[in-house]
A = this chain, B = another copy of it.
Amino acid sequence: MTGESEFLDAYDASDFPRPSVAVDVALVTVAEEKLAVLLVRRKEHPHRGAWQLPGGFVGIDESLDDAAKRVLLDKTGISGVFTEQLYTFGDVDRDPRTRVISVAYYSLVGAGRLGNLHDDGALVPILVPWSGETGGAVDLRGPDGLIDVAFDHRLIVGTVVKRLRGKLGYAPIGYELLPGEFTLHQLQAIHETISGARLNKDSFRRRMLASGELVSTGRRQQNVGHRPATLYRYEPA
């Protein structure tokens, strides 16, 4: 048996069949107290009529990050938002046509920035059938019950939710889903939506303010029918 390095060096690009490499991008936002993801409808077999994450094959002269940005821009016109590699899905049978390895990415964007989607795209609420950071596939709710999702994309979205819950405690995830100025109540709602749990208001407020990364703008809410809350801005330390 030869070692890996021999194998690696003896390898000729044309010698062996090789997998295709795609990126799939989960654009996530929070709308009406629910996590939602952008899906597009499939027009061809397999899974014709089902929904999937926007995706595309990786160009031979294109980095993975660039491919993800391109897919996002092509499908939504959005760029410049928080985007991060999630996980690479490589089971042999995940695509029935041919061997496709998918490097999954996720993006976060405030609900306000999602204006005009393409015709075949839809923001779909995510139903998480597990608690905490258990992980696993999620369900996606359409107008008439759960919708049909192609490939392993329910698992990909579930992995996004797991990642978000994990990062919520130590990374500035919530701010990516809010406008530039926001109230502490809005921030808490985002955290509760992501974590799937209610949070203690007093403690949340103290913890956020103690971080030193929230700056009061001096401005306040307008026309809210009750005492208006102070608007804050996020400023990394």
Number of interface residues of A (CB under 8 A): 51
Smallest beta-carbon distance A70→chain B, Å: 9
Cα-based distance from A188 to B92 in the complex (angstroms): 40
Cα-based distance from A57 to B22 in the complex (angstroms): 17
List the B side residues contacting A61 at CB < 8 Å.
92, 99
List the B side residues contacting A9 at CB < 8 Å.
42-45
Which of B21, B45, B52, B118 contacts A101 (CB under 8 A)? B21
A6-B43, A74-B3 known; A57+B120 contact, CB < 8 A: no
List the B side residues contacting A7 at CB < 8 Å.
56-57
Q: Which of A5, A17, A21, A101: most chain B Cβ within 10 A?
A: A5
Smallest beta-carbon distance A228→chain B, Å: 38
Whether A42 pairs with B5 at a CB distance below 8 angstroms is yes
CB-contacts of A3-56 with B (<8 A): 3-9, 11, 13, 16-22, 40-45, 52, 54-56
Q: Which residue of B lies closest to A72 (CB)?
A: B4
Whether A71 pairs with B101 at a CB distance below 8 angstroms is no
List the B side residues contacting A116 at CB < 8 Å.
none
Cα-based distance from A61 to B101 in the complex (angstroms): 12
Q: Which of A3, A58, A60: most chain B Cβ within 10 A?
A: A3
Q: Is A88 among interface residues, defined by CB-CB distance under 8 A? A: yes
Whether A55 pairs with B92 at a CB distance below 8 angstroms is no
Cα-based distance from A1 to B74 in the complex (angstroms): 9
CB-contacts of A118-156 with B (<8 A): 118, 120
Q: Which residue of B lies closest to A62 (CB)?
A: B92
Cα-based distance from A52 to B43 in the complex (angstroms): 44
Q: Is A87 among interface residues, defined by CB-CB distance under 8 A? A: yes
Cα-based distance from A60 to B95 in the complex (angstroms): 13
Cα-based distance from A127 to B221 in the complex (angstroms): 51
List the B side residues contacting A85 at CB < 8 Å.
87-88
CB-CB nearest 3 A-B residue pairs: A64-B90, A9-B44, A17-B60
